[in-house]
Structure 1
Amino acid sequence: MSGLLAGKRLLVTGVITDSSIAFGVAKVAQENGASVVLTGYGRLSLVERIAKRLPETAPVIELDVTNAEHLAALPDKVREHMDGVDGLVHSIGFAPQSALGGQFLNAGWDDVSTALQVSTYSYQSLAVACLPLMQPGGSIVGLTFDATKAWPVYDWMGVAKAGLESASRYLALHLGKQGIRSNLVSAGPLRTMAAKSIPGFEQFEEAWSERAPLGWDLSDTEPAARAVCALLSDWFPATTGEIVHVDGGYHALGA
């Protein structure tokens, strides 16, 4: 089998619809020779239906990253489909509506803690759960949205992403001894289900479409998916703790 990811075994989280970045990653990965297992949460039958739209139907494992039993059982569930994991994709994020859309000053701790557990802490907990499956040379890749700035409607999700970016650096520090890399891809705004759930997210869309030096297609997840797959491959063997921007160059501009 040929391709950038030939022979690689990947666990991809966060596939909800075929417009999600995670679906794009799974598709590009399969096209480049990888074996893929997906995880789903909630409407598992929906994820299983979406999995059939991939070049090869991928098995789906139920995973709630806030459930300690699910995390503990994950290695055995993965082994039912493949004997190890070379790459792990974290595409998980959630914040209650009260923590978004300009509600930064009003959000209570219960909702904020939910956002941080699902969107930030899960990067560490998912990685730790998968360590028994991983060998030196393994790669963990997560998805962020530029957390160096405060965005008008992103609020506590922005804080959670800042924590995610820090968590990736610490994971790079602590897993480096085992030869496992941790990197993030910072994509521009895309019309995914997650984005549609954020009130006022169209403000991002307008800015990117007008200002990104390379232009920006709000519906094309493939550039971000390709970057994730590149980081999962053996072509970045000495890169860890990095954030790769796939945003048409928008991040490089001044206000």
Structure 2
Amino acid sequence: MGLLDGKRILVAGVTMDTSIGFAAAKVAQEQGATVLISNFGRALSITKRIAKRLPVEPPVLDLDVTNEEHLAGLADAVREHVDGLDGVVHSIAYGNPETLLGGKFLTGPWEDVAQAVRVSAYSLMSLTQALRPVLATPASVVGLTFDATVAWPAYDWMGVAKAGLESTARYLARDLGPEGIRVNLVSAGPLKTLAAKAIPGFEELDSMWASKSPLGWDNTDQIPTAKAICALLSDFFPATTGEIVHVDGGFHAMGA
């Protein structure tokens, strides 16, 4: 019997099979869930090919979280495949690497900062709101962050966007808790994903982890993060919301 038997889960933002979203979809299926995934634009065709590598090929939804028409039609798009959702994984973030990352904090233009905040933080609220008509009671929403309590080398405006995401999750937890909807985040250590490769200077971040993490850190293994996501999607955290669960080998708890 799987941890997610009978659960219906949407993993929003799956591109490559090296992504955390893909790993979350895979573990969720292995634990008994019916999974839907999403992407949009030029990446949609890649996602459809990657979907075939999951244990069960899932439906792939066309979803741009900055497109109001997509959001307005999302509940109906979900209903074409399942009669509701028990969980949502928000695996969505973007910041222009040419203007916002790699030491460009002091020169980041507002237009690009606004886009990063909208895609990476505001979309947690807009996605959840769009799905409220099909969310069961109880339900679980899980997002992905990279510890925004400190300033990291190279991360710059994406760090600000992730701070916004973390705050958004707390306010969503406050407002949706009375409906039985839990909202939590998983803060993973650096992983060699497509998003990470877009960060100039990522190697500087990455190099810190192996020596300082008490449990060690494998930056090619997304499964520990995926398992934490699936645990939060399950019924084993019925009274946990507004929380950030660290999956980083213990790095966050260590001093210099």
Q: TM-score, normalised by structure 1?
A: 0.99
Matches of 2:144 and 2:74, distance apart in 1: 21
* Structure 1 unaligned residues grouped into runs of 5+: none
Aligned CA-pair RMSD: 0.6
Q: How does 1:181-220 map to 2 (within 5 A)?
A: 181-220=182-221
| Corresponding position of 1:51 | 51
Matches of 2:252 and 2:220, distance apart in 1: 19
Matches of 2:45 and 2:148, distance apart in 1: 33
| Corresponding position of 2:175 | 174
| Corresponding position of 2:117 | 116
**Is the partner of 1:119 in helix, strand or coil?**
helix
| Corresponding position of 2:142 | 141
Q: How does 1:1-255 map to 2 (within 5 A)?
A: 2-42=1-41, 43-97=43-97, 98-255=99-256
Matches of 1:19 and 1:90, distance apart in 2: 16
Deviations 1:71-122 (A, max 9, x none): 0000001111101000000000000120111100001110100000000100
Matches of 2:64 and 2:22, distance apart in 1: 18
Shift of 1:135: 2.1
Check the 8 A contact 1:142/1:185 in 2, yes or no.
yes
> Counterpart amino acid of 1:23?
F
Identity, % of aligned positions: 63
Deviations 1:15-72 (A, max 9, x none): 1111000000000000000000001122211101100000000110011100000000
Shift of 1:247: 0.1
> Counterpart amino acid of 1:48?
K
Check the 8 A contact 1:135/1:178 in 2, yes or no.
no
Check the 8 A contact 1:31/1:55 in 2, yes or no.
yes
Matches of 1:138 and 1:107, distance apart in 2: 37
**Is the partner of 1:105 in helix, strand or coil?**
helix
Deviations 1:209-252 (A, max 9, x none): 12111000000000000000000000000000000000000000
* Structure 2 unaligned residues grouped into runs of 5+: none
Matches of 1:22 and 1:37, distance apart in 2: 11
Shift of 1:254: 1.0
Give runs of ≥4 in structure 1 deviating > 2 Å: none
Shift of 1:197: 0.2
